[in-house]
Amino acid sequence: MDQHARLEAEASLADRYAALRAGTERLAEPLSPEDQCVQSMPDASPAKWHRAHTTWFFETFVLKPHVEGYQGFDPDFAFLFNSYYLAAGPRHARPRRGMLTRPATARVTAYRQHVDQAMTALLAGPMSPEIATLVELGLRHEEQHQELLLTDALHLMAQNPLNPAMDPAWREATPPPAMLRWLDGPSGVVAVGHDGEGFAFDNEAPRHRVFLEPFAIADRPVSNAEWMEFVADGGYRTASLWMSEGWAQCEAEGWQAPEHWEPRDGAWLGFTPGGLGTLHPDAPVRHISWYEADAYARWAGCRLPTEQEWEVSSALPGFLAAEGHVWQWTGSAYRPYPGFRPWAGAVGEYNGKFMIGQMVLRGGSRATPPGHSRQTYRNFFPPGARWQFTGLRLAKDVA
Amino acid sequence: MDQHARLEAEASLADRYAALRAGTERLAEPLSPEDQCVQSMPDASPAKWHRAHTTWFFETFVLKPHVEGYQGFDPDFAFLFNSYYLAAGPRHARPRRGMLTRPATARVTAYRQHVDQAMTALLAGPMSPEIATLVELGLRHEEQHQELLLTDALHLMAQNPLNPAMDPAWREATPPPAMLRWLDGPSGVVAVGHDGEGFAFDNEAPRHRVFLEPFAIADRPVSNAEWMEFVADGGYRTASLWMSEGWAQCEAEGWQAPEHWEPRDGAWLGFTPGGLGTLHPDAPVRHISWYEADAYARWAGCRLPTEQEWEVSSALPGFLAAEGHVWQWTGSAYRPYPGFRPWAGAVGEYNGKFMIGQMVLRGGSRATPPGHSRQTYRNFFPPGARWQFTGLRLAKDVA
Amino acid sequence: MDQHARLEAEASLADRYAALRAGTERLAEPLSPEDQCVQSMPDASPAKWHRAHTTWFFETFVLKPHVEGYQGFDPDFAFLFNSYYLAAGPRHARPRRGMLTRPATARVTAYRQHVDQAMTALLAGPMSPEIATLVELGLRHEEQHQELLLTDALHLMAQNPLNPAMDPAWREATPPPAMLRWLDGPSGVVAVGHDGEGFAFDNEAPRHRVFLEPFAIADRPVSNAEWMEFVADGGYRTASLWMSEGWAQCEAEGWQAPEHWEPRDGAWLGFTPGGLGTLHPDAPVRHISWYEADAYARWAGCRLPTEQEWEVSSALPGFLAAEGHVWQWTGSAYRPYPGFRPWAGAVGEYNGKFMIGQMVLRGGSRATPPGHSRQTYRNFFPPGARWQFTGLRLAKDVA
Amino acid sequence: MDQHARLEAEASLADRYAALRAGTERLAEPLSPEDQCVQSMPDASPAKWHRAHTTWFFETFVLKPHVEGYQGFDPDFAFLFNSYYLAAGPRHARPRRGMLTRPATARVTAYRQHVDQAMTALLAGPMSPEIATLVELGLRHEEQHQELLLTDALHLMAQNPLNPAMDPAWREATPPPAMLRWLDGPSGVVAVGHDGEGFAFDNEAPRHRVFLEPFAIADRPVSNAEWMEFVADGGYRTASLWMSEGWAQCEAEGWQAPEHWEPRDGAWLGFTPGGLGTLHPDAPVRHISWYEADAYARWAGCRLPTEQEWEVSSALPGFLAAEGHVWQWTGSAYRPYPGFRPWAGAVGEYNGKFMIGQMVLRGGSRATPPGHSRQTYRNFFPPGARWQFTGLRLAKDVA
């Protein structure tokens, strides 16, 4: 149990709720009402929507069913801010979230305060384990949306020819140079998945056995400097390195470097929440699709690790950047574990219905709230997604 | 010369400038920063963009070339707020205007004030006829954008399931019932087009002769009540009434009534700047495409008037709603008059390059600034456009 | 009345029927079953479909309603080979005509023979004027489809990287060089439209008066050599010459020359029914869209003639290539004449429902059956269409 | 080694070549030149193209590099009939294969004969193991295309409103009723993948170990009668049974039953190579996407087997329809095995570059050439594909 987990375990749910909710507001604080309203693509949601949807989650799954006499804030919000829960009724179409100039940002703030008040009262007293579990889930859910709020807003800023900094206070990591070293991964019959202690999403369970053939895994993610070599070596022009459908997307969209990289006077700049700036050579590369990660690995004479290889290696000494730096694409498709059971009720739609067409990422990024991820955590995105803080770590077979 | 024209002629350019610019701000006033930023479809522009673009017009065509020492407000704005003037340099792509969450609404307000200050100084002194002409054009241009600002914002509000009123103070017209009467139109060789006195757009000139076969024209536009009969009689389900490509669009988009009409308990409500409300039976129907107007006319055993028929009839006693009520689709494609010459310079792109694929509308609507339109005025939109204040007036051949 | 018209008038309907139907078969003769079946784009139809549809026209509008005891060839054909006649029942979707690998080409040949037999019997005897009119219409209809069969098949061949010659016997015209001369057009009140003598389509009537301001018109169409100057002068790279939506299509589709022109070693070749070959410098340019014709005219300091100007000039001495060379885009949108009445019954859908979004062409091309067109003939296509034998003739205002 | 494998092993390569090539021609025999030319969707290829491409494979990979003095049939064919081998040079775009009305069907037949003659001469003598391996691959490749030729042609026929039978001699299986029984699957550490004896594709290797938690697997695929229960129970209207993106496709395309099922008088008919007919209740259901298979399994309270579970179970007594009946979707994404190495050279593009976005199918169908598939065989298609002979087999966890 790391330090964050220990602190978290000791904190009351009430304290954690207050801290988490304030964190979301801090994230949105540098964004103007316009910044919070516009949707830059169907896959991204406006910041205002994230702030309202996470609030809707507590209202819908905790307050309405479990707090007698709770007065809903606005009956329209059930429709406006449901994301995809069929069991929770009809909802506003996802690609049209950006049309909601009303309710205004200020009204969403009032919504948050209304729900916070009711939640604070609830959390001040004793509560059943069932409610505590739902609150816990609501906290983890909002943590996920904190990262999405940031990446979606960054994508929006990137559409603006002025290259505005969404958060001028943002600072990128500046790690020291580190030679890549290979670690021997644990092989044979090993166990993966969550063991049931502490919170985990349903998709991390049950813990089960898999057999791993011998493999080696890099001790750290691929860096910006290494990626620049790939670019310079023609990686984006060499079809034989790519999956067929990845190459088709690369050509159709004219990829020449990771998303949010911009050429300037023969060098590459990176667009970050702090604006356009130099790319630190030793920081992990990010904003790459699975297709790019896979092509890079092939170019390097390696491959991506499977999610199981990643998980069992993540406790090895020398395994850097398990969390807090960059999400790492794996070679594993996002599918249920043997014995997987979705949670009961509407929250059973949380993860299970997306288990096709997506690839698993492990680790966690600078945009992930501290303590949110863990070694068994399964993040997932379609192979063409680039707007997240996504990078890669290399692996290879051992004869 | 009507009363408005006389007042206008007497007012100084400086007074007219001040009044016009204040009018735009009044229109935008009920709109929040979010309302002013979002683009609801590629054909519509955000209110903030309209406010900035009309300002850019004065800055680019009046201040920069003609006021020595004028300091531009922001060098980026030349790119951001050019609409389509190739001669004025590159520009931000039209369908991406809604991505510009920055500059913020407040900064656009500052832009307007900056330009207003310089314009006010310029207008306080004597000026060359060339400059006066450009200022006049800038005023007419901003009047056009006032109407677009309103119709575009209404379209945005219509995407919102909450049916918000963009301007709660808006009141619809409540005309008295009026039996339709047929007027004998002037036929034979007649003259149409602007005669050169007072301001007119280049597309209204030159005045020229046409021959009209005998015709009759309705003394007023088609009303909501009349349109409801068309709907009730299956007008939207009867292919034989429609042009082939109009029927294709009607089917593909599921038209059942004009845009912004909503069924409620067996009746139709209308969505207006004042919100969702009853449709006044005697008010002119609006928010119909040319295809619908044409199908209605066929259903009624009539046809649309040509723009020449409309123009020569508009001075007849009994010809109601020439202006100020609803734009009226005509049967004429928008093409240049014989002898047409676009204005010299960049403003020559104002009208001429759109003279294909569009149909002419005559009249003027409740959203048109008073005094903006005139009998020779040629408005134009593609035949499928519905989000404007567009209606129709019937005509027929006389044996 | 020209020679062809006189010969036609003297020939019996029976002889004309036989000659026309044989002509269609001769056109299709060099096409293999595969060539006759594939649809190269939604706007084009397979040759087999043209052969069957023209037969369906006689069967549906002449034989079934007017010949007692006529046995239909195949009940499915009413659905398969109806083009767009709503009054004639449901029909196979246009963009899916190329899916009909069955009925086989041979069965369509049998269908033609079956209908020819019944028609021959009918035409051998006396017949009512109503039937004669329908037969006449069927002949004119099939003439139109002969041209479409050729242009659609040419478009199909152009998709093939082998550049196959659909008809190796095809020979292009090789006109002598001819300096362009300007003709004074008839102006003032003139009459246009068909006067009712001999066959005409409903869209050519009624004859009516128009007023024309003074104009001049070129005595011949623009030639390949002249068009090459436009290309060499950057015509396809100069936005200011183009209508806004024409420029958008030019850029989106990468136009650099007329359709079916191919660059080879710094020169241009033309793809024709006879294969890929040199472009005769003095032959009329063809395979240009209205947008290109309009841009060329602007580049040349001229404009396109209106259809009325074209018509009243076409009888002038010196007016070359009225027919038989190339269709000539005019500046007129395709709209009904004053007093237009579609034919009664299902054939009323023949022309009227397409009178929006299209531009009028006058003249006639090398692919038009001799005698088919006339001075009042109104051909029409959308402004972006390029696969027809379409060129242009210049006009200009006279002070 | 089953009987077919034994016979195959005993036959000479020359005999097998002759038999295989003749088999392709027999398959195409009932198809007219039109049937062989048209492409019904981008994912399907014309029969003529299949016949030419399989011939190109032998010519490109065997004859040209290994037979001195071999005269290529036509230099254009290298471009026209390369499918996706980047290393073999540029190629005609896949979605435009149906535009190739020329070369004609007869010329493709001549191409096949030309190559057969050279191959027969080659196979009559001794040859290096390298060449023998390439010939073997060419045979397996053409077997795959035999199945595609049939399914693609069936898809084409299904676009025809006449429901033509592409092969009137086709007979569907009529298996006896069979109660579904559950088999205990082998669990723990097991080995999967090809062991290197006899031919296998590169994607089946290397043999490696996996760990399987206890599971049960159905002894036979799901039948038509069972699928009808799913339909009747609202399976196609119950979103909660579906993956999110499967439900989106189901709604967008209006799925109500498997592809090629047609409602007729309250019952379902099936469209097969023999035409439209009754669905045998005990035959395996087919023409379902992975999304449908997955939804069915959830409806049945089960899940799809992984490909490893399928493989290790396929030798169990009682495991019916391992091959020869229907391809069976598994729950496994198509990804490389640990230690996977694509073949060297251009044929390395055969499988490896498609290992993303696809799901594995096991078994083999009535359209699969006998002896083509095997227990380790990995077929793959995207989860939305329906035009193949695809069904499913159920599995479930065992506590």
Q: Domain with D276 in it: what CATH number?
A: 3.90.1580.10
In this structure, the answer to whether residues B188 and B228 fall within a common structural domain is yes
pLDDT band, very low/low/confident/very high, at B10 (cuts 50, 70, 90): low
Partner residues linked to B380 by β-bridges = B360
Distance of CA C300 to the CA centre of its chain: 26
Q: What pLDDT was estimated at residue D214?
A: 97
Report the distance separating Cα B45 and Cα B157, nearest Å: 13
Report the distance separating Cα B236 and Cα A137, nearest Å: 50
Report the distance separating Cα B298 and Cα D208, nearest Å: 75
* CB-closest option in D239, D353, D383 to A357: D383
Residue A170 lies in a domain: no
Sort out which chain A residues have CB atoms less than 8 A from D244's CB and list them.
84, 353-354
Q: In chain B, which residue's Cα lies nearest the Cα of A165?
A: B102
Taking the CA of residue C157 and the nearest CA in chain D, the distance in Å comes to 8
Taking the CA of residue B196 and the nearest CA in chain C, the distance in Å comes to 17
Q: In chain A, which residue's Cα lies nearest the Cα of D334?
A: A333
Residues C173, C54: contact at Cβ < 8 Å? no
Pick from B126, B158, B190: which residue ends a domain?
B158
- Residues A80-90: what's their mean pLDDT? 90
Q: What pLDDT was estimated at residue A126?
A: 92
In this structure, the answer to whether residues D296 and D391 fall within a common structural domain is yes
pLDDT in tens, D315-336: 999 998 777 799 999 999 999 9
D92 CB within 8 Å of a chain C CB: yes
Is residue A10 over pLDDT 70? no
Q: From A28, A50, A37, A32, select the one nearest A101 (Cα to Cα).
A: A37
In this structure, the answer to whether residues D267 and D354 fall within a common structural domain is yes
A356 CB within 8 Å of a chain D CB: yes
Asked if A87 lies within 8 A of D240 by C-beta distance, the reply is: yes
**3-state SS assignment for residue D229:** helix
D354 CB within 8 Å of a chain A CB: yes
In this structure, the answer to whether residues D142 and D261 fall within a common structural domain is no
Residue D91 lies in a domain: yes
In this structure, the answer to whether residues D352 and D261 fall within a common structural domain is yes
pLDDT band, very low/low/confident/very high, at B1 (cuts 50, 70, 90): very low
Report the distance separating Cα C390 and Cα D6, nearest Å: 66
Asked if C101 lies within 8 A of D38 by C-beta distance, the reply is: yes
Residue D80 lies in a domain: yes
Q: What pLDDT was estimated at residue B8?
A: 66
Asked if C211 lies within 8 A of B213 by C-beta distance, the reply is: no
Is residue A196 over pLDDT 90? no
B46 CB within 8 Å of a chain A CB: no
Residue C281, domain extent: 182-397
Element (H, E) at C361: strand C359-364
Task: For residue B386, report the phi and psi dihedrals to the nearest 5 degrees.
Answer: -130, -10
D243 CB within 8 Å of a chain A CB: yes
In this structure, the answer to whether residues A201 and A292 fall within a common structural domain is yes
Report the distance separating Cα C220 and Cα D102, nearest Å: 38
- Chains D and B make contact, 3+ CB pairs within 8 Å: no
Taking the CA of residue D50 and the nearest CA in chain A, the distance in Å comes to 20
Partner residues linked to B211 by β-bridges = B189
Residues C101, C107: contact at Cβ < 8 Å? no
pLDDT in tens, C251-307: 999 999 999 999 999 899 999 999 999 999 999 999 999 999 999 999 999 999 999
Interhelix angle for D13-28 vs D105-124, to 10°? 170
Taking the CA of residue B263 and the nearest CA in chain A, the distance in Å comes to 20
pLDDT in tens, C92-138: 999 999 999 999 999 999 999 999 999 999 999 999 999 999 999 99
Q: How many folded domains does chain A comprise? A: 2
Asked if A34 lies within 8 A of B164 by C-beta distance, the reply is: no
Asked if B35 lies within 8 A of A101 by C-beta distance, the reply is: yes
Q: A–D: how many Cβ contacts below 8 A?
A: 81
Residues in Cβ contact with B301 at an 8 Å cutoff, skipping those fewer than 6 apart: B396
Q: What pLDDT was estimated at residue A1?
A: 44
C353 CB within 8 Å of a chain B CB: yes
Pick from B100, B125, B158: which residue ends a domain?
B158
Taking the CA atoms of residue D263, residue D268, residue D271 and residue D272 in that order, the dihedral angle to the nearest 10 degrees is 180
In the structure encoding, which two tokens stand for residue D399, read together? 């506590």
In this structure, the answer to whether residues B69 and B201 fall within a common structural domain is no
Q: B–C: how many Cβ contacts below 8 A?
A: 81
A102 CB within 8 Å of a chain B CB: yes
Residue A165 lies in a domain: no
Is residue A3 over pLDDT 80? no
Please identify which residue in the block is written with the tokens 């229907």. Answer: D326
Q: In chain A, which residue's Cα lies nearest the Cα of B40?
A: A99
Interface test with A, best of B34, B74, B96 (most A CBs within 10 A): B34
Which chains have at least 3 CB atom pairs separated by less than 8 Å from chain D?
A, C
Interface test with D, best of A91, A304, A353 (most D CBs within 10 A): A353
* CB-closest option in D38, D48, D92 to C99: D38
In this structure, the answer to whether residues B213 and B104 fall within a common structural domain is no
Q: Which of residues 284-323 of A touch B (CB under 8 A)?
A: none
Q: What pLDDT was estimated at residue B111?
A: 98
* Most confident residue range from A375-389, B83-97, D82-96: A375-389
Asked if B37 lies within 8 A of A38 by C-beta distance, the reply is: yes
Asked if B356 lies within 8 A of C239 by C-beta distance, the reply is: no
- Residues A137-155: what's their mean pLDDT? 98
Which chains have at least 3 CB atom pairs separated by less than 8 Å from chain C?
B, D
Report the distance separating Cα A12 and Cα A15, nearest Å: 5
In this structure, the answer to whether residues D143 and D236 fall within a common structural domain is no
Give the dihedral sign, CA D164/D166/D167/D173: negative
pLDDT in tens, D242-253: 999 999 999 999
Interface test with D, best of C81, C92, C101 (most D CBs within 10 A): C101
Q: What pLDDT was estimated at residue A282?
A: 95
Q: In chain B, which residue's Cα lies nearest the Cα of C192?
A: B211
Mean pLDDT of chain D: 95
**3-state SS assignment for residue A359:** strand
Residue B170 lies in a domain: no
Q: What pLDDT was estimated at residue B9?
A: 64
D90 CB within 8 Å of a chain C CB: no
In this structure, the answer to whether residues D10 and D113 fall within a common structural domain is yes
Sort out which chain A residues have CB atoms less than 8 A from B37's CB and list them.
34, 37-38, 101
The DSSP output letter for D62 is I
D79 CB within 8 Å of a chain C CB: yes
Q: Is this prediction's pTM over 0.90?
A: yes
Sort out which chain C residues have CB atoms less than 8 A from D34's CB and list them.
33-34, 36-37, 48, 101-102, 104-105
A266 CB within 8 Å of a chain B CB: no
Report the distance separating Cα A133 and Cα B386, nearest Å: 51
Q: In chain A, which residue's Cα lies nearest the Cα of B35?
A: A101
| AA letter at C74 | D
pLDDT in tens, B341-391: 999 888 888 899 999 999 999 999 999 999 999 999 999 999 999 999 999
D38 CB within 8 Å of a chain C CB: yes
**3-state SS assignment for residue D269:** strand
Residue D379 lies in a domain: yes
In this structure, the answer to whether residues B339 and B204 fall within a common structural domain is yes
Asked if D76 lies within 8 A of C162 by C-beta distance, the reply is: yes
Residue B164 lies in a domain: no
In this structure, the answer to whether residues D218 and D101 fall within a common structural domain is no
Is residue B5 over pLDDT 70? no
Report the distance separating Cα B276 and Cα A101, nearest Å: 17
Residue C341 lies in a domain: yes
Sort out which chain A residues have CB atoms less than 8 A from D243's CB and list them.
353-356
Please identify which residue in the block is written with the tokens 């399931």. Answer: B161
Q: From C334, C356, C246, select the one nearest B383 (Cα to Cα).
A: C356
Asked if B356 lies within 8 A of C84 by C-beta distance, the reply is: no
Is residue C1 over pLDDT 50? no
Report the distance separating Cα C69 and Cα C118, nearest Å: 10
- Residues B209-219: what's their mean pLDDT? 97
